Amino acid sequence: MEQLVIHGGRPLRGTVEASGAKNAALPLLAASILVDGVVTYHRIPHLRDIATMMSLLVYQGAKVEFDDKNRLHIDGREADQPEAPYDLVKTMRASALVLGPLLARFGKARVSLPGGCAIGARPIDMHLKGLEAMGAAITVEHGYVSASAPYGLIGARIFFDQVTVTGTENLMMAAVLAEGGTVLENASREPEVVNLAESLRALGAKIQGEGTGTITIQGVSSLRGGSVTTIPDRIETATYLAAGLITGGDVMVTGCEPADLESFLTHLVSAGATVEVNGDTIRCFAKRPLRGTDIQTMPHPGFPTDLQAQFMALMTLAEGSCTVRETIFENRFMHVQELVRLGAEIQLAGNTAVVRGVDHLSGAPVMATDLRASAGLVLAGLAAEGETTVSRIYHIDRGYERIEEKLGKLGAVIERRSNGHSMLGGEGLG
């Protein structure tokens, strides 16, 4: 088990560059299944989840390789295995993103049901309902979804009862090669969905309306090879800006997309931070402790649920109290008890946390439970006096490229330790 060991209390200062967005890259890679040619990807981040998706595509028979200029080339033409096995899907729920493309390409697919995860049940019922509306026959048994559409998918009008990011992406990809037109209503407006639509259009798809709640897709007979570029990771960007603020420092992120972080940046300004936006760079600092500021997570363009833990960490040291309301996932407060171990004062009531700012945090061993919760714990550890060890950091490696290197460049004293022996208590309980 690896740990991050952090000696906190140092202001972080300097500049880091944003990596490509994990949640844009994953559907983009899955889309290679649809393409009758080679797709060249620019700005793909080196993350565990990306490696998992690449393994899945190789398992299906695609050719996948990075070149010496860090471009990723995928040739899906040889793929002949329309399956996503349990041992790959269990490590990454987003593997379900191959379901739509496999069904569109092969007329059949067998994909392991993604298990739940720490933050919630995370079903894919809306994905399946949409595929059925497009004429697929779906059965779920022995933990697998089996889908078939031997005569191809037919365009349909699909209304999402709840905004779903990967549900929108899966059905957009399924619709690209379907017969006729598809309309996705109450679709996700996330920047990652827009990136996918623009990329598919560059490969020959007919898509309109991305970024609004209504996306229309006109089926085409095939997609041609070409080049696509992943947007910068807005969640990673915001995490590093928060690292500067929580330590009383001054951090600039370059190569990012400020427009994708409107809600987060607006809340930082309400809390008293100075936010300077200049083209593709954002700089944040604060002359005095932040003010407690309420947030409520919402689908884009609202406050991102993937930044809830990081903002909560910031608020543990703010002046006054605030409420953090999580409306997207039913169990996304696993970081709260760990933050309390560092001295934070947080009360939970249903899907709302009340955070009362304290004047300091003190280092302690804490445990990561999911990707973004672990980012929140690292932020708190950077501010806490003394040593904080964050264990189970395989969670964090799923979504943050070389985190200790990037934080170290900003002046953090942080190192990765492998912890061969299992300690009694936390670690030992496995």
| Residues with catalytic roles | 117
Q: Are strands 321-325 and 352-356 parallel, antiparallel or unpaired?
A: antiparallel
Whole-angstrom distance, CA of residue 138 vs CA of residue 128: 7
Q: Which residue has the tokens 């919402």?
A: 298
Who contacts 354 (Cβ-Cβ below 8 Å, separation ≥6)?
A: 321, 322, 323, 346, 347, 348
**Residue of 217, 228, 226, 202 lying closest to 24 (CA atoms):** 228
Task: Name the minimum Å distance from CB 140 to ligand EPZ.
Answer: 13
Task: Name the minimum Å distance from CB 123 to ligand EPZ.
Answer: 4
Task: Name the minimum Å distance from CB 138 to ligand EPZ.
Answer: 12
Residues numbered 162-191 forming contacts with ligand EPZ, rule: CB under 6 A: 162, 164-167
φ and ψ at residue 350, rounded to 5 degrees: 65, -125
Tokens standing for residue 350 = 């249903």
Task: Name the minimum Å distance from CB 66 to ligand EPZ.
Answer: 21
β-bridge partners, 41? 72, 228
φ and ψ at residue 111, rounded to 5 degrees: -125, 130
Find the binder of ligand EPZ among 328, 368, 377, 407 (CB under 6 A).
Answer: 328
x-or-dash string of contact with ligand EPZ, 107-146, rule CB under 6 A: -------------xxxxxxxx-------------------
What residue type is 169 in one-letter code? E
230 binds ligand EPZ (CB under 6 A): no
Of 147-155, 158-166, 250-258, 410-418, which part binds ligand EPZ (CB under 6 A)? 158-166
**Which is nearer to ligand EPZ, 286 or 373 (by Cβ)?**
373
Task: Name the minimum Å distance from CB 116 to ligand EPZ.
Answer: 9
Indicate the helix (H) or strand (E) that contains 2.
strand 2-8
Residues numbered 357-416 forming contacts with ligand EPZ, rule: CB under 6 A: 371-372, 399
Size of the site for ligand EPZ (CB under 6 A): 23
Whole-angstrom distance, CA of residue 117 vs CA of residue 105: 29
Task: Name the minimum Å distance from CB 397 to ligand EPZ.
Answer: 13
Indicate the helix (H) or strand (E) that contains 173.
helix 165-176
Tokens standing for residue 107 = 């007329």
Residues numbered 263-322 forming contacts with ligand EPZ, rule: CB under 6 A: 305-306
What's the sign of the alpha-carbon dihedral 423, 411, 16, 66?
A: negative
What's the sign of the alpha-carbon dihedral 146, 179, 56, 194?
A: negative
Task: Name the minimum Å distance from CB 164 to ligand EPZ.
Answer: 3
**Which is nearer to ligand EPZ, 5 or 33 (by Cβ)?**
33
**Which is nearer to ligand EPZ, 216 or 305 (by Cβ)?**
305
Whole-angstrom distance, CA of residue 66 vs CA of residue 35: 18
**Which is nearer to ligand EPZ, 45 or 204 (by Cβ)?**
45
Whole-angstrom distance, CA of residue 364 vs CA of residue 387: 6
Whole-angstrom distance, CA of residue 230 vs CA of residue 264: 21
Is residue 376 within 8 Å of residue 210, measured between CB atoms?
no
DSSP 82-124: -EE-HHHHTT-GGGGGGHHHHHHHHSEEEEEPP--BTTB----
Tokens standing for residue 235 = 């969640």
**Which is nearer to ligand EPZ, 116 or 180 (by Cβ)?**
116
**Which is nearer to ligand EPZ, 375 or 412 (by Cβ)?**
375
Find the binder of ligand EPZ among 3, 19, 23, 95 (CB under 6 A).
Answer: 23
Task: Name the minimum Å distance from CB 330 to ligand EPZ.
Answer: 7
Find the binder of ligand EPZ among 6, 31, 34, 94 (CB under 6 A).
Answer: 94
**Which is nearer to ligand EPZ, 105 or 300 (by Cβ)?**
300
Of 157-165, 210-218, 224-232, 237-245, which part binds ligand EPZ (CB under 6 A)? 157-165
Task: Name the minimum Å distance from CB 50 to ligand EPZ.
Answer: 11
**Which is nearer to ligand EPZ, 188 or 316 (by Cβ)?**
188
> Left if phi > 0, otherwise alpha if psi is -120 to 50, otherwise beta: which for 129?
alpha
Of 13-21, 83-91, 161-169, 279-287, which part binds ligand EPZ (CB under 6 A)? 161-169
**Residue of 56, 51, 168, 165 lying closest to 112 (CA atoms):** 56
What is the contact surface with ligand EPZ in residues (CB under 6 A)? 23, 26, 94, 120-127, 162, 164-167, 305-306, 328-329, 371-372, 399
